[in-house]
Every structure is written in C-alpha cells, then in structure tokens.
Amino acid sequence: MKVTKAEFIISAVGPKQFPVDALPEIALAGRSNVGKSSLINRMINRKNLARTSSTPGKTQQLNYYRINDDLYFVDFPGYGYAKVSKTSRQAWGQMIESYLLEREQLKLVLQMVDLRHPPSKDDIMMYDWLRHHGLPVCVVGTKADKIPKTRREKHYKVIKQELGILPGALFIPFSSEEGMGKEELWSVISSYIGNENEGQAEV
Ligand SMILES: Nc1nc2c(ncn2[C@@H]2O[C@H](COP(=O)(O)OP(=O)(O)OP(=O)(O)O)[C@@H](O)[C@H]2O)c(=O)[nH]1
Ligand SMILES: [Mg+2]
C-alpha cells in the first residue's frame, strides 16, 4: 500500500458521527498504552498524526483516520484502565459492542497485545468475544523492540497459547519504534479490504 494521504477525520462519540462514504474500516482494539496510536503513525510514516498519549485511558472516542481514499483506521479507546469509572467502562463497552456488531464497513479488527507480558484477562475476553461473533481478527503483538531478539519466540509462544491463537490464525509481531511487521500487516490489511495486489508494495 502506497500511502499518499493520511488525515484525521473525526473523534466520533456515536454512530451519527461515523463517516458515510462507505470505505472499508480497520479497527484497532487493545488496552490503554498498548501502542494503537503508535501503530497507526508507523503504518503511514507520520510522527504524530494519531495522538500518542502519555496519559493512558484519555481517548474515549472512536478516532477515524482516512488513508488515501482506500480505508479508515478506527482507533478505539483503550480498555482495562483501572482508573476509569464503572459508568464510563459500561459506556465504552456499549459503544464498542454496537460498532463491532453493526458496522458493515468493518473489515478487520487488529487486536493489539503487549508482547512483553502475558495477555490480560481483558485481552483474552476480547479475543474470545471477537471470535465468538465470527469477526475477522488479526492479533498484533506490540513493542517487539523492547524484547531481546533471542527471547522473542518465547514471548510469541506465551501469547499464542494463552489467547488460544490456532495454528494458521493471524498473529503479527510489531514494533512501531523500528518498523518490524509493517509490511506484513499492510499485506494482511490489503487482503481484507479487497486490495490483494497492492499488499507487497512499499509504503
Ligand atoms: N519501544 C516502543 N514503544 C512503543 C511502541 N508502541 C508504543 N510505544 C510507546 O508506548 C506508549 C503508548 O503508546 P500509544 O500509541 O499512545 O498507545 P495507545 O494504545 O494508543 O494508548 P491509548 O490511546 O491510551 O489507548 C507511548 O509512550 C509510545 O511511545 C513500540 O513498538 N516500541
Ligand atoms: Mg491512542
């Protein structure tokens, strides 16, 4: 995918604000601070289009980014942040759930997990829920650069085992810092938005 244009469109608080141009959407789910915004920036080679937060749990809307005229990245608010109140956690759940179950344009969910740690209960619940509902999902393991190369395979194994990622199911180790996994992820995304031929191209 050659990214020639990337722009922030809207922080949507509900369906009325979702874009109406029917481009395919790729959603990013994962706990706060896992690296969702950083992944978007790396995928499009921009330093800071998607706001990276030093205050986890800040983003409470669905942030839409349009890439070329090909797709949207939809950056979810992070889940599992302890300081968020029960009420706002429920609101999060309802917004995300209705988006995931009702949004026709949704083509793929990137479920992001931090490679350094075993998946959290929330990660496991999320992955189970997505599969239960038959949603296409690719697990992205973030912050690979923070693990020494010789130990990475071990970490991949723990993630795969504890999430229950079946052989052949999508799992991509990623580093927003170094760019690892970027081409592979573009290739997967391209195949889910019906753009297979562009999968291998440089960004
Ligand atoms: N070393 C390293 N740091 C990363 C990587 N990805 C993210 N980070 C850092 O982790 C912190 C959180 O990253 P964000 O991209 O803001 O995380 P987020 O998932 O968007 O967080 P919320 O918006 O709060 O849900 C930032 O300080 C990033 O610089 C990575 O691949 N490698
Ligand atoms: Mg973010």
Q: How many Cβ atoms sit within 10 Å of the Cβ of residue 101?
A: 10
> Exposure of 133 by Cβ count < 10 A (0-12 exposed, 13-18 middle, 19+ buried)?
exposed
* Ligand 1 centroid – CA 6 distance (Å): 19
Ligand with minimal distance to 55 CA: 1
Q: Given the CA of residue 142, which atom of ligand 1 is nearest to it?
A: 31
Mutate which of 52, 111, 145, 146 to test ligand 1's pocket (most atoms within 8 Å of Cβ)? 52
Question: In 3D, which of 108, 54, 58, 116 has the Cα closest to residue 83?
Answer: 58
Residue 121 reports pLDDT greater than 80: yes
Residue minimizing CA distance to atom 9 of ligand 1 = 35
Which tens digit of pLDDT belongs to each residue from 126-145?
999 999 999 999 999 999 99
Which tens digit of pLDDT belongs to each residue from 53-107?
555 555 568 999 999 999 999 998 887 665 566 776 677 778 888 999 999 999 9
Q: Given the CA of residue 175, which atom of ligand 1 is nearest to it?
A: 31
Residue minimizing CA distance to atom 12 of ligand 1 = 33
83's tokens: 């300081």
pLDDT, position 95: 82
- Reported as a pLDDT band with limits 50, 70 and 90, residue 201 is very low
In CATH, the number for domain 6-198 is: 3.40.50.300
Domain regions of the chain by residue span: 6-198
Which tens digit of pLDDT belongs to each residue from 156-199?
999 999 999 999 999 999 999 999 999 999 999 999 998 665 54
| Pocket-forming residues, ligand 1, beta carbon under 6 Å | 30, 32-38, 52-53, 56-59, 78, 142-143, 145-146, 175-177
Which tens digit of pLDDT belongs to each residue from 11-50?
898 899 999 999 999 999 999 899 999 999 999 988 788 7
pLDDT, position 203: 47
Q: Given the CA of residue 176, which atom of ligand 1 is nearest to it?
A: 31
- Who contacts 51 (Cβ-Cβ below 8 Å, separation ≥6)? 37, 59, 63
